[in-house]
Amino acid sequence: MDVKTLCLGVISVKPCSGYEIKKTIEDDFRSFFRASYGSIYPALAELERSGHVVGEAVEQEKRPDKKVYRITEAGLDALRASLADEEPRHVVRSEFLVLMCFAHLLTPERAAWVVDRMIAHFDGLMRTEVERWDEAAAELGPGERFALGYGRAVLTAALSYMQRER
């Protein structure tokens, strides 16, 4: 799964611009996916070239024009197809845990600081997940609810482990 597929997925829920896609990824996918403008805009351009989305320029008052993309029939087919045959991956890259493995080479203060940083980080993620749950629980699909619940379960476990062991 690449940025292109995710963009297509986001557009399938609701037509939007590159800028809005970035917002959505930050708000709703932040704990398990990230993408920068440098990957989103080229992805959009290619999706349009291949006819999976169509973009329409929208003029706005008191702010820059934007280009809103909506998904086509072909795009929806392509999205369904790629969701249907991709291996589900789940990759964690934790330089934090590597750091902990070499904790004996750190000063105790540094080690404690590192753990505190991660607690703060997870705490931030947790806050946004709870916020989103409180605000939008009703209109969430079952899949989104599953993903959000997963995040909460894992973050809760991570936080309580770290607080217990630090």
- Partner from DNA, its own copies, none binding residue 154, C-beta < 5-8 Å depending on class: its own copies
62 Rama class: left (phi>0) / alpha (psi -120 to 50) / beta: left
Encoded tokens for 97: 């845990």
Interface pattern 8-47 for DNA (x via CB under 7 A): ---------xxxx--x----------xxxxxx-xx-xx--
Instruction: Tell me the C-alpha distance between 20 and 108, whole Å.
Output: 43
Encoded tokens for 164: 């217990």
8 A C-beta contact, residue 136 and residue 147: no
Number of residues that bind DNA (CB under 7 A): 26
Among 66, 70, 132, 152, binds DNA (CB under 7 A): 66
Q: Which is nearer to its own copies, 68 or 100 (CB)?
A: 100
Chain residues that interact with DNA, rule: CB under 7 A: 2-4, 17-20, 23, 34-39, 41-42, 44-45, 60, 62-68
